[in-house]
Amino acid sequence: MQDLSFAALVTVENGTGEFQRRIERKFISELPGGDVVIRVKYSSLNYKDALSASGNRGVTKKYPHTPGVDAAGIVIESSDSRWESGDEVICTGYDLGMNTAGGYGQYIRVPGDWVVRKPQGLSLLESMQLGTAGFTAAQCLLHFEQNAIVPSKGPILVTGATGGVGTLAILLLHKLGYEIVAVTGKSSEHAYLSSLGATRILDRQELLVGRDKQLLPVRWGGAIDTVGGDMLAAAIKSTGFDGVVTCCGNAASGDLSVSVYPFILRGVHLIGVYSAHCPMEKRLLVWEKLAREWRLQDLSSISRTVQLDQLEDEILAMLAGQSKGRCVVDVEGIA
């Protein structure tokens, strides 16, 4: 194929050990090896992307680098017989955007095993309004479904409620008829969370009352925690009998201090949720649910769209804990 030139956001390390982000021209020949070349239409901004874009070597080992763990676009060339030119596809997770040039470039080249056919019922834009955040939130609900955490079990707690996973979790829970208690430290966003379907809103400090106790009164039928640390511990301590707490983030802390009592006295299930290496069978199931029975009608209510050269402010806001909802990247929206 022709060695096309394209635009990409690249994080580079300068001579003083600091990192900068800039738009560069790249060529397809510079992309890593793989079976499938995809012209990226849309990507999105996740916390992992913000870390990679800021030079976090726990996420990305070598720089210069193009972040973007999400990509949705059209196959333009494939040596894998499962994929043909013109196929509309999604690629999220695996090593994309971590150590493999990611979705903030207008083209990616990846192994065929990383690619998912866009399900009918979702547009490419909608798939990135969901992205890894929606995929993660949906996995949390799948664990609820598999463990009989139905609406009658009681309210569901959602921490980090204004973030990407949190907002999509609220929308999905509301669609399925759950009572939702949203936790946020942003007092200005209470009306926003209520508009998404949150029944009640707690300040972070309200959730942490009694944090030093080994067990707290039962308050929740289940919980979706996106932040880790003390809030995850509080959620576990106050979840009811046979309840499920899903853990999928560490924005507050990667540490967890909790006794065995919620587990041996109430049978609370703590389930870790990961997306990068989710098995393909489960990956396809989750995307089909998001496209069909769990389909959300108005994702524009929790998303905004920016171009590659407008990502800087969004990255800084996310690193500062000031991001809200989902940020979609119109990768083609820059020459």
Q: What is the pLDDT of residues 133-187, one digit of tens each?
A: 999 999 999 999 999 999 999 999 999 999 999 999 999 999 999 999 999 988 8
327 close to 125: Cβ distance less than 8 angstroms? no
Q: What is the pLDDT of residue 323?
A: 85
Whether the ω angle into residue 64 lies within 30 degrees of 0, i.e. cis, is yes
Amino acid, res. 329: V
Q: What is the mean pLDDT of residues 39-56?
A: 95
Q: What is the mean pLDDT of residues 190-194?
A: 93
Q: What is the pLDDT of residue 331?
A: 96
Q: What is the pLDDT of residue 105?
A: 97
Amino acid, res. 157: L
Q: What is the pLDDT of residues 65-83, one digit of tens each?
A: 999 999 999 999 999 999 9
Q: Which contacts qualify for 25-30: CB closer than 8 Å, 24 or more apart?
A: 26/66, 26/105, 26/107, 27/3, 28/1, 28/2, 28/3, 28/4, 28/107, 28/109, 29/3
Amino acid, res. 233: A
More confident call, 324 vs 92: 92
- What share of the chain has pLDDT > 90, as a percent? 88
Q: What is the pLDDT of residues 203-246, one digit of tens each?
A: 989 999 988 999 999 999 999 999 999 999 999 999 999 999 99
Q: What is the pLDDT of residue 1?
A: 67
Residue 103 — pLDDT band, cuts 50, 70, 90?
very high
Q: Which domains does the chain have, with CATH numbers?
A: 5-118+298-330 (3.90.180.10), 132-272 (3.40.50.720)
Q: What is the mean pLDDT of residues 29-55?
A: 96
Q: What is the pLDDT of residues 247-267, one digit of tens each?
A: 998 878 889 999 999 999 999
Q: What is the pLDDT of residue 42?
A: 98
Does the pLDDT at position 280 exceed 90? Answer: yes
Q: What span, in angstroms and rounded, lies between the C-alpha atoms of 71 and 215?
A: 42
Q: What is the pLDDT of residue 335?
A: 60
Q: What is the pLDDT of residue 123?
A: 96
Q: What is the pLDDT of residues 93-102, one digit of tens each?
A: 999 999 999 9
Q: What span, in angstroms and rounded, lies between the C-alpha atoms of 184 and 158?
A: 9
Q: What is the pLDDT of residues 290-321, one digit of tens each?
A: 999 999 988 988 999 999 999 999 999 999 88
26 close to 34: Cβ distance less than 8 angstroms? no
Does the pLDDT at position 10 exceed 70? Answer: yes
